[in-house]
Structure 1
């Protein structure tokens, strides 16, 4: 399960960040922010080869000593970042893909709400419930 889930706008500012309750939440904010360079690099590499099919799932962006950071980008260039603990070796790549699929579906449902203005911070309760279900529960 995840320890941090973030939705980043096309212009690289956070629309939504949720972490597990900890006294070091700022570390997760920094980790998400530093992952954006890797996301941009991977997106630009995909765009160079015209024959490549556009893959939304970017995979492992980078590992740290304590965490692994995974990325996903939508067709509208909105980025999803999920941080998981490195010690969690039970998590397979297809499970991470499934988490991103659920997150993307919740994001699409939230965007279909006529009262949501694109680009605003996400404050949808159903979206937050989906994210809460992905986070590690102590």
Structure 2
């Protein structure tokens, strides 16, 4: 189901990428993730995150892009970091994706709160990596 999970920093710098497929596909997935960031920037810039005036913005961005059999979904945090999932299951529900993103966001907050983490550098925390892999496996990583 989930074939890749990524965290992109506020200045669109890659902070983390986990792929759950062969090494041959890792570069293709990395490119697909970065191409999907244009859709995130458009939605955030157009103010499409909130549902009505005065409502809190919705962090879940929904479907960002498709590339062949892959569907890329996004989530934007208040700190302008982005979470992107590449999924190869066409029938995954938005509620499931929202729950996955919330769990990933919680793991990200935990990792970024580490006093030894330097902001803007790649996330190399084994604990964060294990959390993301557990979350992806719970849905059924390919």
TM superposition score normalised by structure 1: 0.90
Counterpart for residue 103 of structure 1: 104
- 1:66 and 2:102 are equivalent in the alignment: no
Question: In 2, distance between residues paired with 1:75 and 1:54?
Answer: 9
Partner of 1:2: 2
Query: Which of 48-57 and 17-26 deviates more?
Result: 48-57
Separation in 1, partners of 2:125, 2:16 = 10
Count of residues in correspondence between the two structures: 136
Task: Return closer, same or farther for 1:47/1:96 CA change in 2, 3 Å cut-off.
Answer: closer
Change (3 A) 1:95 1:47: closer
Structure 1, unaligned runs of 5 or more? none
Question: CA shift at 1:131, angstroms?
Answer: 1.4
Runs (4+) of structure 1 moved beyond 6 Å? 47-50
1: distance between equivalents of 2:11 and 2:90?
Answer: 33
Distance 2:107 2:123 in 1: 11
Deviation per residue, 1:67-120 (Å, 9 max, x gap): 1100000001001100000xx245211111111001000001111111111111
> Gaps spanning 5+ residues in structure 2: where?
none
Cα distance change, pair 137–53 in 1 and its aligned pair in 2 (3 A):
closer
1:1-138 correspondence runs (5 A): 1-22=1-22, 23-46=24-47, 51=53, 52-85=55-88, 88-133=89-134, 134-135=136-137, 136-137=140-141
Root mean square deviation, CA, Å:
2.0
Greater displacement, 113-122 / 44-53:
44-53
User: 1:2-31: per-residue Cα shift (whole Å, max 9, x none)?
Assistant: 100000011111000111131221110110
Distance 1:64 1:21 in 2: 16
